[in-house]
Amino acid sequence: MNLDELTLKACGLTSRDLIDCGGDGLLAPQAAQALVSLRARAKRAGFRLAVASSFRSYSRQLAIFNAKARGQRLVTDERDRPIERTRVSEEQYLHAILRFSALPGTSRHHWGTDLDVWDSAAVANDYALQLSVAEYGHSGPFYDFAMWLQEKALQDDAEGFYLPYLEDSGGVAPEPWHLSYRPGTIGLRERQTADVLDALWATDLAQPLDSVIEEPLELIHIVRPHIDSLLSRYVVT
Protein backbone atom coordinates (compact mmCIF):
# COMPACT_ATOMS: atom_id res chain seq x y z
CA MET A 1 0.00 0.00 0.00
CA ASN A 2 1.29 3.46 -0.91
CA LEU A 3 0.02 6.46 1.02
CA ASP A 4 -0.43 9.91 -0.52
CA GLU A 5 0.71 13.15 1.10
CA LEU A 6 -2.64 13.94 2.74
CA THR A 7 -2.89 10.46 4.26
CA LEU A 8 0.68 10.71 5.61
CA LYS A 9 -0.33 14.01 7.21
CA ALA A 10 -3.60 12.63 8.58
CA CYS A 11 -1.86 9.73 10.31
CA GLY A 12 1.09 11.62 11.80
CA LEU A 13 3.65 10.17 9.40
CA THR A 14 5.03 13.53 8.28
CA SER A 15 5.57 16.95 9.86
CA ARG A 16 6.94 18.48 6.66
CA ASP A 17 4.33 21.27 6.50
CA LEU A 18 4.53 22.23 10.17
CA ILE A 19 6.56 25.04 11.70
CA ASP A 20 8.57 24.95 14.90
CA CYS A 21 6.89 27.28 17.40
CA GLY A 22 9.40 26.82 20.21
CA GLY A 23 7.61 26.06 23.47
CA ASP A 24 4.34 25.59 21.59
CA GLY A 25 5.78 22.70 19.57
CA LEU A 26 5.16 21.98 15.89
CA LEU A 27 2.08 23.63 14.37
CA ALA A 28 0.45 24.17 10.99
CA PRO A 29 1.27 27.77 9.93
CA GLN A 30 -2.37 28.95 10.02
CA ALA A 31 -2.98 27.34 13.41
CA ALA A 32 0.17 29.00 14.74
CA GLN A 33 -1.07 32.39 13.58
CA ALA A 34 -4.52 31.83 15.09
CA LEU A 35 -2.86 30.82 18.37
CA VAL A 36 -0.98 34.13 18.51
CA SER A 37 -4.30 36.00 18.20
CA LEU A 38 -6.13 33.81 20.70
CA ARG A 39 -3.29 34.14 23.19
CA ALA A 40 -3.37 37.94 22.91
CA ARG A 41 -7.10 37.95 23.62
CA ALA A 42 -6.64 35.55 26.53
CA LYS A 43 -4.02 37.88 27.95
CA ARG A 44 -6.41 40.84 27.77
CA ALA A 45 -8.94 38.73 29.66
CA GLY A 46 -6.37 38.02 32.38
CA PHE A 47 -5.11 34.56 31.35
CA ARG A 48 -1.71 33.29 30.23
CA LEU A 49 -2.50 30.68 27.58
CA ALA A 50 0.17 27.96 27.72
CA VAL A 51 0.49 24.90 25.49
CA ALA A 52 1.08 21.52 27.14
CA SER A 53 1.14 19.47 23.95
CA SER A 54 0.67 20.02 20.21
CA PHE A 55 1.93 17.85 17.32
CA ARG A 56 2.60 14.22 18.16
CA SER A 57 3.87 11.79 15.51
CA TYR A 58 2.53 8.32 14.75
CA SER A 59 5.68 6.83 16.30
CA ARG A 60 5.22 8.77 19.51
CA GLN A 61 1.55 7.79 19.80
CA LEU A 62 2.49 4.16 19.07
CA ALA A 63 5.08 4.24 21.87
CA ILE A 64 2.49 5.62 24.32
CA PHE A 65 -0.19 3.12 23.31
CA ASN A 66 2.13 0.10 23.32
CA ALA A 67 3.63 1.01 26.70
CA LYS A 68 0.12 1.16 28.16
CA ALA A 69 -0.88 -2.09 26.46
CA ARG A 70 2.17 -3.83 27.95
CA GLY A 71 1.45 -2.46 31.41
CA GLN A 72 4.64 -0.35 31.37
CA ARG A 73 2.77 2.92 31.55
CA LEU A 74 -0.09 3.74 33.92
CA VAL A 75 -3.65 2.98 32.76
CA THR A 76 -6.39 4.35 35.01
CA ASP A 77 -10.13 4.01 35.33
CA GLU A 78 -12.71 6.81 35.35
CA ARG A 79 -11.84 7.70 38.93
CA ASP A 80 -8.12 7.88 38.32
CA ARG A 81 -7.41 4.54 39.95
CA PRO A 82 -4.70 2.35 38.36
CA ILE A 83 -5.95 -0.71 36.47
CA GLU A 84 -3.77 -3.78 36.72
CA ARG A 85 -3.11 -5.40 33.36
CA THR A 86 -3.71 -8.92 34.62
CA ARG A 87 -6.96 -8.24 36.48
CA VAL A 88 -9.18 -7.41 33.51
CA SER A 89 -9.76 -8.99 30.11
CA GLU A 90 -7.68 -7.75 27.15
CA GLU A 91 -10.81 -6.21 25.71
CA GLN A 92 -11.61 -4.27 28.89
CA TYR A 93 -8.03 -3.14 29.07
CA LEU A 94 -8.14 -1.89 25.47
CA HIS A 95 -11.24 0.18 26.21
CA ALA A 96 -9.62 1.65 29.31
CA ILE A 97 -6.63 2.76 27.20
CA LEU A 98 -8.82 4.24 24.47
CA ARG A 99 -10.76 6.43 26.93
CA PHE A 100 -7.62 8.54 27.33
CA SER A 101 -5.24 7.61 24.49
CA ALA A 102 -5.94 7.44 20.77
CA LEU A 103 -5.06 4.52 18.56
CA PRO A 104 -1.87 5.50 16.70
CA GLY A 105 -2.78 7.03 13.34
CA THR A 106 -6.10 8.39 14.66
CA SER A 107 -4.96 11.11 17.08
CA ARG A 108 -5.97 14.68 16.33
CA HIS A 109 -2.53 15.61 17.64
CA HIS A 110 -1.08 14.16 14.41
CA TRP A 111 -2.22 17.22 12.46
CA GLY A 112 -0.45 20.26 13.91
CA THR A 113 -3.91 21.82 14.39
CA ASP A 114 -4.69 20.52 17.87
CA LEU A 115 -3.32 21.62 21.24
CA ASP A 116 -3.78 20.98 24.94
CA VAL A 117 -3.90 24.33 26.72
CA TRP A 118 -3.88 25.66 30.29
CA ASP A 119 -3.56 28.96 32.13
CA SER A 120 -0.08 29.29 33.59
CA ALA A 121 -1.06 32.54 35.36
CA ALA A 122 -3.49 30.65 37.60
CA VAL A 123 -0.91 28.47 39.32
CA ALA A 124 2.58 28.63 40.84
CA ASN A 125 5.66 28.35 38.60
CA ASP A 126 6.44 24.83 39.78
CA TYR A 127 2.87 23.57 39.31
CA ALA A 128 2.73 19.97 38.04
CA LEU A 129 0.09 19.99 35.33
CA GLN A 130 -2.05 16.85 35.18
CA LEU A 131 -4.60 17.68 32.49
CA SER A 132 -7.39 16.30 34.66
CA VAL A 133 -11.07 17.24 34.45
CA ALA A 134 -10.89 18.40 38.08
CA GLU A 135 -8.32 21.10 37.25
CA TYR A 136 -10.77 22.62 34.74
CA GLY A 137 -13.86 22.09 36.89
CA HIS A 138 -15.61 24.30 39.47
CA SER A 139 -12.97 24.20 42.16
CA GLY A 140 -9.96 23.74 39.88
CA PRO A 141 -7.35 26.43 39.09
CA PHE A 142 -8.28 26.63 35.39
CA TYR A 143 -12.05 26.97 35.79
CA ASP A 144 -12.24 30.66 34.79
CA PHE A 145 -9.97 30.06 31.82
CA ALA A 146 -12.01 27.03 30.73
CA MET A 147 -15.25 29.05 30.94
CA TRP A 148 -13.76 31.89 28.92
CA LEU A 149 -12.51 29.45 26.29
CA GLN A 150 -15.82 27.59 26.09
CA GLU A 151 -17.81 30.76 25.73
CA LYS A 152 -15.63 31.94 22.85
CA ALA A 153 -15.48 28.53 21.17
CA LEU A 154 -19.23 27.93 21.40
CA GLN A 155 -19.88 31.32 19.80
CA ASP A 156 -17.37 30.49 17.08
CA ASP A 157 -15.37 33.47 18.24
CA ALA A 158 -12.07 31.73 19.08
CA GLU A 159 -9.96 32.51 15.98
CA GLY A 160 -11.11 29.27 14.30
CA PHE A 161 -10.51 27.05 17.32
CA TYR A 162 -13.14 24.80 18.86
CA LEU A 163 -13.30 22.16 21.62
CA PRO A 164 -13.98 18.74 20.07
CA TYR A 165 -13.94 16.75 23.35
CA LEU A 166 -16.14 18.89 25.54
CA GLU A 167 -18.83 16.30 26.03
CA ASP A 168 -18.67 12.66 27.06
CA SER A 169 -20.37 10.54 24.42
CA GLY A 170 -19.13 7.25 25.90
CA GLY A 171 -15.97 7.20 23.80
CA VAL A 172 -13.10 9.55 24.55
CA ALA A 173 -13.29 11.05 28.05
CA PRO A 174 -14.03 14.82 28.20
CA GLU A 175 -10.97 16.98 27.53
CA PRO A 176 -11.86 20.64 28.21
CA TRP A 177 -8.20 21.52 27.48
CA HIS A 178 -8.15 20.17 23.92
CA LEU A 179 -8.36 22.89 21.27
CA SER A 180 -8.58 22.26 17.55
CA TYR A 181 -8.06 24.71 14.70
CA ARG A 182 -11.00 23.68 12.57
CA PRO A 183 -10.01 25.11 9.15
CA GLY A 184 -6.78 23.08 9.24
CA THR A 185 -8.49 19.76 9.90
CA ILE A 186 -10.65 19.59 6.78
CA GLY A 187 -10.36 16.32 4.86
CA LEU A 188 -7.96 14.68 7.33
CA ARG A 189 -10.32 12.40 9.29
CA GLU A 190 -11.49 10.76 6.08
CA ARG A 191 -7.93 9.63 5.36
CA GLN A 192 -7.68 7.59 8.54
CA THR A 193 -9.37 4.55 7.01
CA ALA A 194 -9.43 1.04 8.46
CA ASP A 195 -7.28 -0.24 5.56
CA VAL A 196 -4.59 2.40 6.02
CA LEU A 197 -4.54 1.97 9.79
CA ASP A 198 -4.39 -1.81 9.55
CA ALA A 199 -1.37 -1.62 7.24
CA LEU A 200 0.35 0.82 9.61
CA TRP A 201 -0.37 -1.22 12.73
CA ALA A 202 0.94 -4.39 11.10
CA THR A 203 4.02 -2.44 9.79
CA ASP A 204 2.89 -3.61 6.40
CA LEU A 205 3.97 -0.65 4.25
CA ALA A 206 6.52 -0.97 1.48
CA GLN A 207 6.85 2.81 1.18
CA PRO A 208 9.75 4.58 2.91
CA LEU A 209 8.53 7.03 5.59
CA ASP A 210 10.02 10.10 7.29
CA SER A 211 10.07 8.25 10.57
CA VAL A 212 10.62 4.53 10.91
CA ILE A 213 7.86 2.54 12.58
CA GLU A 214 9.78 0.06 14.67
CA GLU A 215 7.05 -2.19 15.93
CA PRO A 216 3.51 -3.38 15.30
CA LEU A 217 0.57 -2.31 17.44
CA GLU A 218 0.09 -4.25 20.67
CA LEU A 219 -3.39 -5.80 21.04
CA ILE A 220 -3.78 -5.76 17.24
CA HIS A 221 -5.53 -9.15 17.46
CA ILE A 222 -8.35 -7.50 19.45
CA VAL A 223 -8.37 -4.21 17.59
CA ARG A 224 -8.56 -5.78 14.12
CA PRO A 225 -11.91 -7.62 14.34
CA HIS A 226 -13.57 -4.56 15.96
CA ILE A 227 -11.94 -1.84 13.92
CA ASP A 228 -15.14 -0.27 12.57
CA SER A 229 -16.91 -0.06 15.93
CA LEU A 230 -13.73 1.18 17.65
CA LEU A 231 -13.28 3.94 15.08
CA SER A 232 -16.89 5.07 15.34
CA ARG A 233 -16.80 5.07 19.15
CA TYR A 234 -13.40 6.63 19.79
CA VAL A 235 -12.68 8.74 16.75
CA VAL A 236 -14.52 12.06 16.81
CA THR A 237 -15.18 13.66 13.45
Residues found near Zn ion in the complex (CB under 5 A): 116, 178
Upper half-sphere CA count for residue 183 (Cβ side, 13 Å): 12
* Nearest-approach distance from CB 202 to Zn ion, in angstroms: 26
Q: How far is the CB of 10 from Zn ion (least distance, A)?
A: 16
Comparison of 116 and 144: residue with beta carbon closer to Zn ion: 116
Closest CB to Zn ion among 107 and 120? 107
Residue with smallest beta-carbon separation from Zn ion = 178
Nearer to Zn ion, 3 or 39 (CB): 39
Segment 40-44 long-range contacts (CB within 8 Å, at least 24 positions apart): 41/152, 41/159, 42/119, 42/145, 42/148, 42/149
Q: Which residue number, 3 or 64, has a Cβ lying nearer to Zn ion? A: 64
Q: Which residues pair with 195 in a beta bridge?
A: none
Instruction: Give the list of residues 6+ apart from residue 45 with CB closer than 8 angstroms, or none.
Output: 148
C-alpha 107: how far from chain center: 5
Provide the minimum distance between the beta carbon of 116 and Zn ion in the complex, in angstroms, as a whole number. Answer: 4
Q: Which is nearer to Zn ion, 3 or 21 (CB)?
A: 21
In Å, how far from its chain's centre is CA 40? Answer: 24
CB of 109 to Zn ion, least distance (A): 6
| Rounded Cα–Cα distance for residues 235 and 237 (Å) | 6
**In contact, 178 and 236? CB cutoff 8 Å:** no
H or E stretch including 181? strand 178-181
Query: Please, what is the minimum distance in Å from the beta carbon of residue 108 to Zn ion?
Result: 7
